[in-house]
Amino acid sequence: MSDLAGKHIVLGLSGGVACYKAAEFCRGLVKAGATVQVVMTEAAEHFITPVTMQALSGRTVYSSQWDAREGNNMPHINLSREADAIVIAPASADFMARLVHGRADDLLSLLCLARPRERVPLLVAPAMNREMYAHPATQRNLAQLRADGTVVLGVGAGEQACGETGDGRMLEPDELLYEVVRHFQPKVLSGRHVLITAGPTFEAIDPVRGLTNRSSGKMGFALARAAHEAGAQVTLVAGPVALPTPRGVQRVDVMSAQDMQRAVQASADAADVFIAAAAVADWRPANAAGQKIKKDGSGEVPALAFVENPDILAGVAQGARAKGGALYCVGFAAESHDLLAHAQAKRARKGVPLLVGNIGPDTFGRDDNALLLVDEGGTTELPRDGKLALARRLVAEIARRLPRG
Ligand code: C5P
Protein backbone atom coordinates (compact mmCIF):
# COMPACT_ATOMS: atom_id res chain seq x y z
CA MET A 1 0.00 0.00 0.00
CA SER A 2 1.31 3.41 -0.85
CA ASP A 3 -1.14 5.60 1.04
CA LEU A 4 1.59 8.17 1.74
CA ALA A 5 3.41 8.07 -1.62
CA GLY A 6 4.99 11.44 -2.32
CA LYS A 7 4.53 12.71 1.25
CA HIS A 8 7.45 13.96 3.28
CA ILE A 9 6.96 13.65 7.02
CA VAL A 10 9.09 15.24 9.72
CA LEU A 11 8.84 12.80 12.62
CA GLY A 12 9.71 14.48 15.91
CA LEU A 13 10.53 12.48 19.03
CA SER A 14 10.47 14.07 22.46
CA GLY A 15 11.45 12.26 25.65
CA GLY A 16 9.35 9.32 26.82
CA VAL A 17 9.31 5.55 27.07
CA ALA A 18 6.97 5.53 24.07
CA CYS A 19 9.99 6.34 21.89
CA TYR A 20 10.24 2.58 21.32
CA LYS A 21 6.92 2.75 19.46
CA ALA A 22 8.22 5.60 17.30
CA ALA A 23 10.69 3.17 15.71
CA GLU A 24 7.91 0.95 14.39
CA PHE A 25 5.79 3.97 13.46
CA CYS A 26 8.72 5.32 11.41
CA ARG A 27 8.96 1.98 9.61
CA GLY A 28 5.21 2.07 8.93
CA LEU A 29 5.45 5.56 7.42
CA VAL A 30 8.27 4.44 5.12
CA LYS A 31 6.39 1.28 4.12
CA ALA A 32 3.37 3.43 3.28
CA GLY A 33 5.51 5.33 0.80
CA ALA A 34 6.48 8.44 2.80
CA THR A 35 9.95 9.86 3.12
CA VAL A 36 10.72 10.51 6.77
CA GLN A 37 13.08 13.01 8.37
CA VAL A 38 13.55 12.25 12.06
CA VAL A 39 14.24 15.06 14.52
CA MET A 40 14.93 14.17 18.16
CA THR A 41 15.16 16.19 21.36
CA GLU A 42 18.04 15.55 23.71
CA ALA A 43 15.60 13.84 26.10
CA ALA A 44 14.42 11.48 23.34
CA GLU A 45 18.01 10.34 22.83
CA HIS A 46 17.96 8.97 26.39
CA PHE A 47 15.23 6.53 25.33
CA ILE A 48 16.23 5.47 21.81
CA THR A 49 19.35 6.11 19.78
CA PRO A 50 19.53 8.18 16.59
CA VAL A 51 21.26 5.14 15.05
CA THR A 52 18.03 3.14 15.15
CA MET A 53 15.98 6.02 13.75
CA GLN A 54 18.54 6.70 11.02
CA ALA A 55 18.54 3.05 9.97
CA LEU A 56 14.73 2.93 9.82
CA SER A 57 14.26 6.26 8.03
CA GLY A 58 17.30 6.01 5.79
CA ARG A 59 18.30 9.60 6.69
CA THR A 60 20.61 11.05 9.27
CA VAL A 61 18.76 12.33 12.31
CA TYR A 62 18.73 16.01 13.30
CA SER A 63 18.78 17.08 16.93
CA SER A 64 20.58 20.42 17.13
CA GLN A 65 19.63 23.85 15.83
CA TRP A 66 23.35 24.44 15.35
CA ASP A 67 23.70 21.55 12.87
CA ALA A 68 26.25 22.77 10.35
CA ARG A 69 25.26 20.21 7.70
CA GLU A 70 22.77 22.73 6.32
CA GLY A 71 24.43 25.19 3.96
CA ASN A 72 22.57 28.17 5.42
CA ASN A 73 22.84 26.73 8.96
CA MET A 74 19.06 26.99 9.32
CA PRO A 75 17.77 23.42 9.80
CA HIS A 76 14.59 24.80 11.46
CA ILE A 77 13.67 26.63 8.24
CA ASN A 78 14.78 24.00 5.75
CA LEU A 79 13.26 20.98 7.52
CA SER A 80 9.92 22.65 8.23
CA ARG A 81 9.48 23.92 4.67
CA GLU A 82 10.16 20.55 3.06
CA ALA A 83 7.52 18.81 5.17
CA ASP A 84 3.98 17.88 4.16
CA ALA A 85 3.29 17.32 7.87
CA ILE A 86 5.15 17.37 11.17
CA VAL A 87 4.21 14.54 13.53
CA ILE A 88 5.45 14.57 17.12
CA ALA A 89 5.36 11.03 18.51
CA PRO A 90 5.83 10.79 21.38
CA ALA A 91 4.80 14.28 22.50
CA SER A 92 5.77 14.54 26.17
CA ALA A 93 3.95 16.78 28.65
CA ASP A 94 7.01 19.02 28.72
CA PHE A 95 7.24 19.25 24.94
CA MET A 96 3.59 20.24 24.62
CA ALA A 97 4.06 22.90 27.29
CA ARG A 98 6.96 24.22 25.21
CA LEU A 99 4.78 24.33 22.09
CA VAL A 100 2.07 26.22 23.95
CA HIS A 101 4.56 28.87 24.98
CA GLY A 102 6.24 29.13 21.59
CA ARG A 103 9.60 28.13 23.04
CA ALA A 104 12.40 27.89 20.51
CA ASP A 105 15.55 26.81 22.37
CA ASP A 106 15.88 23.35 20.83
CA LEU A 107 15.57 22.29 17.19
CA LEU A 108 12.26 20.41 17.43
CA SER A 109 10.26 23.15 19.17
CA LEU A 110 12.02 25.74 17.01
CA LEU A 111 10.98 24.09 13.75
CA CYS A 112 7.39 23.63 15.00
CA LEU A 113 7.27 27.38 15.68
CA ALA A 114 8.90 28.21 12.35
CA ARG A 115 6.64 26.01 10.21
CA PRO A 116 4.33 27.68 7.68
CA ARG A 117 1.10 26.93 9.56
CA GLU A 118 -1.30 27.24 6.62
CA ARG A 119 0.60 24.61 4.63
CA VAL A 120 2.31 22.27 7.10
CA PRO A 121 -0.01 20.66 9.66
CA LEU A 122 1.33 19.73 13.09
CA LEU A 123 0.08 16.48 14.63
CA VAL A 124 1.00 15.53 18.18
CA ALA A 125 0.63 12.12 19.83
CA PRO A 126 0.67 12.67 23.61
CA ALA A 127 2.41 10.06 25.78
CA MET A 128 2.71 10.25 29.54
CA ASN A 129 1.74 8.90 32.95
CA ARG A 130 -2.01 9.06 33.65
CA GLU A 131 -1.65 11.64 36.47
CA MET A 132 0.42 13.88 34.22
CA TYR A 133 -2.14 13.49 31.43
CA ALA A 134 -5.11 14.23 33.70
CA HIS A 135 -3.41 17.23 35.35
CA PRO A 136 -5.24 20.51 34.67
CA ALA A 137 -1.99 22.02 33.35
CA THR A 138 -1.69 19.33 30.66
CA GLN A 139 -5.38 19.49 29.79
CA ARG A 140 -5.09 23.30 29.52
CA ASN A 141 -2.11 22.86 27.21
CA LEU A 142 -3.96 20.34 25.04
CA ALA A 143 -6.89 22.74 24.70
CA GLN A 144 -4.53 25.58 23.80
CA LEU A 145 -2.73 23.45 21.22
CA ARG A 146 -6.08 22.64 19.56
CA ALA A 147 -7.02 26.32 19.62
CA ASP A 148 -3.70 27.07 17.90
CA GLY A 149 -4.60 24.67 15.08
CA THR A 150 -2.55 21.66 16.20
CA VAL A 151 -4.07 18.23 15.56
CA VAL A 152 -3.99 16.53 18.95
CA LEU A 153 -4.30 12.77 18.51
CA GLY A 154 -5.99 10.68 21.17
CA VAL A 155 -4.25 8.53 23.76
CA GLY A 156 -4.63 4.87 24.62
CA ALA A 157 -5.82 3.57 27.97
CA GLY A 158 -4.37 0.68 29.91
CA GLU A 159 -1.20 -0.47 31.59
CA GLN A 160 1.60 2.08 31.65
CA ALA A 161 5.36 1.64 31.83
CA CYS A 162 5.30 3.03 35.40
CA GLY A 163 3.00 0.18 36.49
CA GLU A 164 -0.11 2.35 36.81
CA THR A 165 -3.23 1.94 34.68
CA GLY A 166 -5.15 4.72 32.96
CA ASP A 167 -5.25 7.23 30.09
CA GLY A 168 -2.06 8.63 28.61
CA ARG A 169 -0.35 5.85 26.67
CA MET A 170 0.74 6.81 23.21
CA LEU A 171 -1.37 5.31 20.41
CA GLU A 172 0.03 2.16 18.86
CA PRO A 173 2.16 2.49 15.67
CA ASP A 174 -0.64 1.21 13.39
CA GLU A 175 -3.11 3.66 14.99
CA LEU A 176 -0.68 6.55 14.48
CA LEU A 177 -0.20 5.52 10.86
CA TYR A 178 -3.95 5.41 10.34
CA GLU A 179 -4.28 8.93 11.79
CA VAL A 180 -1.60 10.31 9.47
CA VAL A 181 -3.13 8.64 6.39
CA ARG A 182 -6.58 9.89 7.44
CA HIS A 183 -5.27 13.40 7.84
CA PHE A 184 -4.37 13.55 4.14
CA GLN A 185 -7.75 12.29 2.87
CA PRO A 186 -10.16 14.99 1.61
CA LYS A 187 -12.93 15.61 4.15
CA VAL A 188 -15.77 15.24 1.65
CA LEU A 189 -18.17 13.72 4.22
CA SER A 190 -17.42 16.10 7.06
CA GLY A 191 -20.43 16.49 9.36
CA ARG A 192 -22.30 13.57 7.76
CA HIS A 193 -23.45 10.36 9.42
CA VAL A 194 -22.96 7.26 7.28
CA LEU A 195 -24.66 3.93 8.02
CA ILE A 196 -23.17 0.84 6.35
CA THR A 197 -24.09 -2.85 6.32
CA ALA A 198 -21.35 -5.39 5.60
CA GLY A 199 -20.67 -9.09 5.43
CA PRO A 200 -22.98 -12.07 5.15
CA THR A 201 -25.92 -12.91 7.38
CA PHE A 202 -26.29 -16.22 9.19
CA GLU A 203 -29.72 -17.83 9.20
CA ALA A 204 -30.07 -20.49 11.87
CA ILE A 205 -31.38 -23.96 11.06
CA ASP A 206 -30.89 -25.13 14.65
CA PRO A 207 -28.63 -23.95 17.50
CA VAL A 208 -25.49 -25.30 15.82
CA ARG A 209 -26.20 -25.11 12.08
CA GLY A 210 -27.15 -22.39 9.69
CA LEU A 211 -27.07 -20.93 6.19
CA THR A 212 -24.66 -18.21 5.17
CA ASN A 213 -22.74 -17.08 2.08
CA ARG A 214 -19.22 -16.28 0.91
CA SER A 215 -19.27 -12.52 1.49
CA SER A 216 -16.09 -11.57 3.40
CA GLY A 217 -17.26 -8.13 4.51
CA LYS A 218 -14.04 -6.58 3.17
CA MET A 219 -15.74 -4.10 0.83
CA GLY A 220 -18.15 -2.86 3.51
CA PHE A 221 -15.35 -2.55 6.07
CA ALA A 222 -13.21 -0.66 3.54
CA LEU A 223 -16.15 1.68 2.94
CA ALA A 224 -16.50 2.25 6.68
CA ARG A 225 -12.82 3.20 6.91
CA ALA A 226 -12.99 5.40 3.81
CA ALA A 227 -16.09 7.21 5.10
CA HIS A 228 -14.40 7.82 8.46
CA GLU A 229 -11.26 9.07 6.75
CA ALA A 230 -13.51 11.44 4.80
CA GLY A 231 -14.73 12.99 8.05
CA ALA A 232 -18.01 11.12 8.54
CA GLN A 233 -19.42 9.65 11.73
CA VAL A 234 -19.79 5.97 10.77
CA THR A 235 -22.03 3.20 12.06
CA LEU A 236 -21.14 -0.23 10.66
CA VAL A 237 -23.69 -3.02 11.03
CA ALA A 238 -21.68 -6.19 10.45
CA GLY A 239 -22.74 -9.77 9.90
CA PRO A 240 -20.52 -12.58 11.23
CA VAL A 241 -17.00 -11.76 9.98
CA ALA A 242 -13.67 -11.78 11.83
CA LEU A 243 -12.40 -8.46 10.45
CA PRO A 244 -11.00 -5.80 12.82
CA THR A 245 -13.18 -2.74 13.34
CA PRO A 246 -11.81 0.27 11.45
CA ARG A 247 -10.52 2.93 13.84
CA GLY A 248 -13.14 5.49 14.89
CA VAL A 249 -16.05 3.44 13.52
CA GLN A 250 -19.00 2.39 15.68
CA ARG A 251 -19.65 -1.31 15.01
CA VAL A 252 -22.84 -3.25 15.70
CA ASP A 253 -22.48 -7.03 15.28
CA VAL A 254 -25.50 -9.00 14.08
CA MET A 255 -26.19 -12.52 12.83
CA SER A 256 -29.45 -12.82 10.91
CA ALA A 257 -31.14 -10.58 8.34
CA GLN A 258 -33.81 -9.74 10.88
CA ASP A 259 -31.14 -8.70 13.44
CA MET A 260 -29.51 -6.59 10.73
CA GLN A 261 -32.79 -4.92 9.85
CA ARG A 262 -33.42 -4.00 13.51
CA ALA A 263 -29.91 -2.55 13.90
CA VAL A 264 -30.25 -0.56 10.67
CA GLN A 265 -33.64 0.81 11.63
CA ALA A 266 -32.22 1.97 14.98
CA SER A 267 -29.65 4.18 13.19
CA ALA A 268 -31.33 5.11 9.90
CA ASP A 269 -33.12 8.23 11.17
CA ALA A 270 -29.87 9.87 12.24
CA ALA A 271 -28.03 8.97 9.01
CA ASP A 272 -27.41 11.08 5.89
CA VAL A 273 -26.14 8.15 3.79
CA PHE A 274 -27.03 4.45 3.89
CA ILE A 275 -24.71 2.07 2.03
CA ALA A 276 -26.04 -1.51 1.89
CA ALA A 277 -22.94 -3.57 1.16
CA ALA A 278 -24.05 -6.66 3.08
CA ALA A 279 -24.89 -9.89 1.28
CA VAL A 280 -28.17 -10.45 3.08
CA ALA A 281 -29.67 -13.93 2.80
CA ASP A 282 -32.80 -13.82 0.67
CA TRP A 283 -34.47 -16.62 2.62
CA ARG A 284 -34.27 -18.12 6.09
CA PRO A 285 -35.44 -21.48 7.39
CA ALA A 286 -39.14 -21.18 8.19
CA ASN A 287 -38.90 -22.89 11.56
CA ALA A 288 -35.46 -22.89 13.12
CA ALA A 289 -35.33 -25.85 15.52
CA GLY A 290 -34.85 -24.99 19.19
CA GLN A 291 -32.61 -28.04 19.66
CA LYS A 292 -29.99 -29.66 17.44
CA ILE A 293 -31.64 -31.80 14.74
CA LYS A 294 -30.27 -35.31 15.32
CA LYS A 295 -29.30 -37.87 12.73
CA ASP A 296 -31.11 -41.00 13.87
CA GLY A 297 -29.48 -43.57 11.55
CA SER A 298 -32.68 -44.19 9.58
CA GLY A 299 -31.31 -42.43 6.50
CA GLU A 300 -34.15 -39.90 6.57
CA VAL A 301 -33.12 -36.34 5.77
CA PRO A 302 -34.81 -33.32 7.31
CA ALA A 303 -36.90 -31.18 4.95
CA LEU A 304 -36.15 -27.46 5.06
CA ALA A 305 -38.85 -24.93 4.28
CA PHE A 306 -37.96 -21.26 3.74
CA VAL A 307 -39.55 -17.86 4.19
CA GLU A 308 -38.36 -14.67 2.54
CA ASN A 309 -36.24 -12.24 4.54
CA PRO A 310 -37.14 -8.55 4.69
CA ASP A 311 -35.39 -6.46 2.05
CA ILE A 312 -33.52 -4.06 4.34
CA LEU A 313 -32.36 -1.67 1.63
CA ALA A 314 -35.71 -1.42 -0.16
CA GLY A 315 -37.44 -0.82 3.18
CA VAL A 316 -35.03 1.94 4.25
CA ALA A 317 -35.20 3.60 0.81
CA GLN A 318 -39.00 3.54 0.91
CA GLY A 319 -39.02 5.02 4.42
CA ALA A 320 -36.58 7.73 3.33
CA ARG A 321 -38.77 8.69 0.34
CA ALA A 322 -41.79 8.89 2.63
CA LYS A 323 -39.88 11.29 4.89
CA GLY A 324 -38.86 13.58 2.06
CA GLY A 325 -35.74 11.82 0.82
CA ALA A 326 -33.06 13.27 3.12
CA LEU A 327 -31.31 9.88 3.41
CA TYR A 328 -29.18 9.01 0.34
CA CYS A 329 -29.33 5.24 -0.23
CA VAL A 330 -26.72 3.18 -2.08
CA GLY A 331 -27.22 -0.47 -2.99
CA PHE A 332 -24.83 -3.17 -4.16
CA ALA A 333 -25.47 -5.89 -6.71
CA ALA A 334 -23.26 -8.98 -6.79
CA GLU A 335 -23.96 -10.68 -10.09
CA SER A 336 -22.39 -13.49 -12.07
CA HIS A 337 -23.23 -12.06 -15.55
CA ASP A 338 -25.02 -9.18 -17.39
CA LEU A 339 -23.85 -6.74 -14.72
CA LEU A 340 -25.22 -3.57 -16.30
CA ALA A 341 -28.70 -4.89 -17.01
CA HIS A 342 -29.02 -6.45 -13.56
CA ALA A 343 -27.69 -3.35 -11.84
CA GLN A 344 -30.12 -1.09 -13.68
CA ALA A 345 -33.04 -3.38 -12.89
CA LYS A 346 -31.99 -3.62 -9.24
CA ARG A 347 -31.67 0.15 -8.93
CA ALA A 348 -35.28 0.53 -10.09
CA ARG A 349 -36.57 -2.35 -7.98
CA LYS A 350 -34.90 -1.13 -4.77
CA GLY A 351 -35.85 2.49 -5.41
CA VAL A 352 -32.34 3.84 -4.71
CA PRO A 353 -30.53 6.67 -6.51
CA LEU A 354 -27.20 4.81 -6.77
CA LEU A 355 -26.56 1.13 -7.39
CA VAL A 356 -23.04 -0.32 -7.37
CA GLY A 357 -22.55 -3.48 -9.40
CA ASN A 358 -19.76 -6.01 -9.05
CA ILE A 359 -19.16 -9.58 -10.21
CA GLY A 360 -19.69 -11.81 -7.14
CA PRO A 361 -17.12 -14.55 -7.81
CA ASP A 362 -14.54 -11.86 -8.67
CA THR A 363 -14.92 -10.06 -5.34
CA PHE A 364 -15.94 -12.46 -2.55
CA GLY A 365 -12.97 -12.91 -0.21
CA ARG A 366 -10.57 -10.99 -2.46
CA ASP A 367 -8.67 -7.83 -1.60
CA ASP A 368 -9.45 -6.19 -4.92
CA ASN A 369 -12.59 -5.55 -6.92
CA ALA A 370 -14.00 -3.55 -9.85
CA LEU A 371 -17.20 -1.50 -9.60
CA LEU A 372 -19.85 -0.26 -11.99
CA LEU A 373 -21.87 2.70 -10.68
CA VAL A 374 -25.37 3.14 -12.07
CA ASP A 375 -27.39 6.26 -11.34
CA GLU A 376 -29.96 8.40 -13.14
CA GLY A 377 -27.22 10.03 -15.23
CA GLY A 378 -25.81 6.75 -16.60
CA THR A 379 -22.84 4.62 -15.59
CA THR A 380 -19.38 5.19 -14.14
CA GLU A 381 -16.73 2.48 -14.11
CA LEU A 382 -14.24 2.20 -11.27
CA PRO A 383 -11.60 -0.18 -12.67
CA ARG A 384 -10.03 -3.03 -10.70
CA ASP A 385 -8.10 -1.84 -7.66
CA GLY A 386 -7.64 -2.61 -3.97
CA LYS A 387 -10.88 -2.47 -1.99
CA LEU A 388 -9.74 0.48 0.14
CA ALA A 389 -8.72 2.50 -2.93
CA LEU A 390 -12.08 1.70 -4.55
CA ALA A 391 -13.93 2.53 -1.33
CA ARG A 392 -12.26 5.98 -1.26
CA ARG A 393 -13.29 6.59 -4.86
CA LEU A 394 -16.84 5.43 -4.17
CA VAL A 395 -17.04 7.69 -1.10
CA ALA A 396 -15.98 10.63 -3.30
CA GLU A 397 -18.63 9.68 -5.90
CA ILE A 398 -21.31 9.49 -3.21
CA ALA A 399 -20.22 12.82 -1.68
CA ARG A 400 -20.54 14.51 -5.10
CA ARG A 401 -24.13 13.32 -5.38
CA LEU A 402 -25.27 14.48 -1.91
CA PRO A 403 -27.37 17.58 -1.48
CA ARG A 404 -25.29 20.31 0.18
CA GLY A 405 -25.33 19.81 3.97
O1 C5P B 1 -31.72 -8.31 -4.17
P2 C5P B 1 -30.26 -8.39 -3.92
O3 C5P B 1 -29.91 -9.21 -2.71
O4 C5P B 1 -29.43 -8.80 -5.09
O5 C5P B 1 -29.85 -6.87 -3.61
C6 C5P B 1 -28.59 -6.50 -3.17
C7 C5P B 1 -28.65 -5.20 -2.44
O8 C5P B 1 -29.76 -5.14 -1.55
C9 C5P B 1 -27.44 -5.01 -1.56
O10 C5P B 1 -27.23 -3.62 -1.42
C11 C5P B 1 -27.90 -5.65 -0.26
O12 C5P B 1 -27.17 -5.18 0.86
C13 C5P B 1 -29.35 -5.23 -0.20
N14 C5P B 1 -30.25 -6.20 0.44
C15 C5P B 1 -30.86 -5.90 1.63
N16 C5P B 1 -31.73 -6.79 2.19
C17 C5P B 1 -32.00 -7.97 1.60
C18 C5P B 1 -31.38 -8.30 0.40
C19 C5P B 1 -30.51 -7.40 -0.17
O20 C5P B 1 -30.60 -4.83 2.18
N21 C5P B 1 -32.84 -8.81 2.18
Mutate to test the pocket of ligand 1, among 202, 215, 237, 350 (most ligand atoms within 8 A of CB): 350
Residue-wise pLDDT tens digits, 128-156:
999 999 999 999 999 999 999 999 999 99
The DSSP line for 211-269 is: E-----SHHHHHHHHHHHHTT-EEEEEE-S--PPPPTT-EEEE--SHHHHHHHHHHHHT
Q: How far is the CA of 279 from the centre of ligand 1 (A)?
A: 6
The reply, when asked if residue 184 is annotated as ligand binding, is no
What integer pLDDT is reported at residue 44 of this predicted model? 98
Beta bridge mates, 87 = 11, 123
* Angle at which helices 173-184 and 19-31 cross, to 10°: 50
Band of the pLDDT at 364, cuts 50, 70, 90?
confident
What integer pLDDT is reported at residue 311 of this predicted model? 98
Q: What atom in ligand 1 is closest to the CA of residue 310?
A: 21
How many whole angstroms separate alpha carbon 62 and alpha carbon 75?
Answer: 8
Pocket of ligand 1 (CB under 6 A): 197, 257, 276, 278, 280, 309-313, 331-333, 346
Band of the pLDDT at 169, cuts 50, 70, 90?
very high
pLDDT, mean of residues 183-212: 97
The larger pLDDT score, comparing residue 365 to residue 346, is at 346
How many whole angstroms separate alpha carbon 84 and alpha carbon 104?
Answer: 21
What integer pLDDT is reported at residue 58 of this predicted model? 98
What integer pLDDT is reported at residue 362 of this predicted model? 77
pLDDT, mean of residues 198-223: 96
Q: How many C-beta neighbours within 10 Å does residue 117 have?
A: 13
The reply, when asked if residue 21 is annotated as ligand binding, is no
**Residue 162 known to be catalytic:** yes
Q: How far is the CA of 278 from the centre of ligand 1 (A)?
A: 7
- Active-site hit among 19, 26, 112, 162: 162
Q: How far is the CA of 149 from the centre of ligand 1 (A)?
A: 43
Residue-wise pLDDT tens digits, 253-273:
999 999 999 999 999 999 999
pTM of the model: 0.94
What integer pLDDT is reported at residue 363 of this predicted model? 77
The larger pLDDT score, comparing residue 323 to residue 286, is at 286
Contact, 179 vs 30, CB < 8 A? Answer: no
When the pLDDT of each residue in the chain is averaged and rounded to a whole number, the result is: 96
Integer Rg of the chain from CA:
26
What integer pLDDT is reported at residue 324 of this predicted model? 85
pLDDT surpasses 70 at 1: no
What integer pLDDT is reported at residue 361 of this predicted model? 78
Contact, 92 vs 124, CB < 8 A? Answer: no
Burial letters 157-190, b for 16+ CB under 10 A, else e: eeebeeeeeebbbbbebebbbbbbbbbebeebbe
pLDDT, mean of residues 14-37: 98
Domains of the chain (ranges, CATH numbers): 8-184 (3.40.50.1950), 193-401 (3.40.50.10300)
The reply, when asked if residue 332 is annotated as ligand binding, is yes
Q: What atom in ligand 1 is closest to the CA of residue 330?
A: 10
Of the chain, the percentage scoring pLDDT greater than 70 comes to: 100
Q: How far is the CA of 166 from the centre of ligand 1 (A)?
A: 43
Residue-wise pLDDT tens digits, 288-336:
999 999 998 999 999 999 999 999 999 999 999 998 878 999 999 988 8
Of the chain, the percentage scoring pLDDT greater than 90 comes to: 91
